[in-house]
Structure 1
């Protein structure tokens, strides 16, 4: 019985006669990573639409949740790779929607902290669940050992990419 084929198999077959030196395994791996990334991006974008979030709103809520639900605006800006004064507009919009609130800092009265509200946490988790479910659906075809192996192999590739 023949193993199932995907769109990448067709892609590689189409390009091998054009580029005879093409390594089909490298082309296959890179193309599959690209297609998988695009697939997950479509699911993320749809989850944001479903939960009424713009990407930058989700990213800000995600950064805040990753800091335990409370952070200084400058910390969030750093996490998001933004200038500290650029975060204010994002926080204003999220505050108006009831997803975050600003409170005086417990350690420095000149500073405010941003807190994730229950509504903000709920909308962030809802969007995360949609994407997480799709990730589990896709990677669920692999057993635990295979998932660990895939992660390890991709780590080796990423370490090389990060050295650039």
Structure 2
């Protein structure tokens, strides 16, 4: 049975210089990434989060139950300017998803922490995303999933270890 990539390759064969196998692999990866991205967007919409809100909650959640980081740590991880981070935190704080708290030992230090509402929103979005991802990968048996994961890792390691800078 043909998929959309088979039809794409047939349409372009002889019109553009590419290797059919390479084109099939890369285009299928692109289509799958697009599917995952659309699922993420739908999950965020269902929970009422914007992407920037989710990404900030996601970083905080990586720090465990309390989810505490300094604004500068968050800005560095999210590749934002301090002013951009301040605006983002203001929005998240007004929405009740995070709070700023002074460090108990060093009153000059301010930490950002997840609220219960912020953690619940993040967990709900992650659950919705996870269902779509599990459904997509679940068509493969466990052994095939492990093989695919290993093959993709080889590709990623190759790209990550190249001498030229990534764009």
Q: TM-score, normalised by structure 1?
A: 0.91
User: Among residues 36, 49, 55, which one is paired with 2:51 in the alignment?
Assistant: 55
User: Among residues 115, 118, 121, which one is paired with 2:119 in the alignment?
Assistant: 121
Give the corresponding residue for 1:100. Answer: 98
Structure 1 distance, partners of 2:88, 2:103, is 19
User: Among residues 3, 6, 9, which one is paired with 1:9 in the alignment?
Assistant: 6
Report the CA distance between 1:86 and its aligned residue: 2.2
Report the CA distance between 1:148 and its aligned residue: 1.6
Number of residues of Structure 1 aligned to a counterpart in Structure 2: 160
Structure 2 distance, partners of 1:49, 1:5, is 32
RMSD after superposition? 1.4
In the alignment, structure 2 segments of 5+ residues that lack a partner are none
Q: For residues 12-51 of structure 1, what are the structure 2 equivalents within 5 Å?
A: 12-19=9-16, 22-51=18-47
User: Among residues 143, 146, 153, which one is paired with 1:145 in the alignment?
Assistant: 143
Match of 2:99, SS state, is strand
Match of 2:84, SS state, is helix
In the alignment, structure 1 segments of 5+ residues that lack a partner are none
Structure 1 distance, partners of 2:105, 2:148, is 44
Structure 1 stretches of 4+ with a deviation exceeding 3 A read none
